[in-house]
Each structure stands twice: as structure tokens, then as C-alpha cells.
């Protein structure tokens, strides 16, 4: 790929083939605004170096769809990087956590 723009187009093309993320795959979103969640980090392990519990403050729903959205980053959290969305697989409901 020769540019970031080409990469974005490729990611969106792959996403459109598979549609793996809610709501594009027909499933409901797992979390709602106001839910308390535990951030697990990118590798699925609890992030030991930061406070664990955060509030879902919003959903990242750009129009038109961008590569970040197509890659599954959907939830906005009340944390130090509040502008950066996280994937559904990186968080879990606090009440379900042990």
C-alpha cells in the first residue's frame, strides 16, 4: 500500500466482506452509555498499571465510516484518553468481573 488513504480503503473493504463487529453483523452492542466496565487492555488481560473501572460515556459512530470504526473501536470511556475509543473485546461489564 502506498498511503494511509489506501490502507483505510483496504480495511473498509475487508470489513465490508466480513462485517464482524456489532451492529454491522446484526448483533446488539454489548455495552451502553452509563455502564461501568473494566478495561482489559489490547491483549485481554486486566491492565495492572492503571485504574480498572471506567464509565462508558459514548459510542464512536462516525459518518461516513472510517478505518478506526471499521476495526471495531466503538466505546468512549471516562478516562485519561477519553477521546480514544476502545474495542468491545478490551472491556467487560464490572458486575460480571470477578
Q: Are 77 and 21 in contact (CB under 8 A)?
A: no
Query: How far is residue 12's CA from residue 10's CA, in Å, rounded to a whole number?
Result: 5
* Domain spans in the chain, listed from the N-terminal domain onward: 4-96
pLDDT tens-digit profile, the chain (98 residues): 578 889 888 888 888 888 888 888 889 999 999 999 999 876 655 555 556 899 999 999 887 777 888 888 999 999 988 999 999 989 999 875 45
Q: Are 46 and 40 in contact (CB under 8 A)?
A: yes
Amino acid at each position: 500500500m502506498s498511503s494511509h488513504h489506501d490502507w483505510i480503503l483496504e480495511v473498509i473493504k475487508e470489513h465490508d466482506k466480513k462485517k464482524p463487529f456489532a451492529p454491522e453483523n446484526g448483533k446488539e452492542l454489548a455495552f451502553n452509555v452509563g455502564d461501568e466496565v473494566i478495561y482489559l487492555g489490547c491483549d485481554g488481560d486486566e491492565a495492572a498499571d492503571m485504574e480498572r473501572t471506567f464509565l462508558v460515556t459514548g459510542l464512536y459512530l462516525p459518518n461516513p465510516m472510517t478505518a478506526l470504526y471499521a476495526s471495531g473501536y466503538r466505546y468512549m470511556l471516562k478516562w485519561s484518553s477519553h477521546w480514544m475509543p476502545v474495542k468491545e473485546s478490551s472491556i467487560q461489564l464490572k458486575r460480571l468481573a470477578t
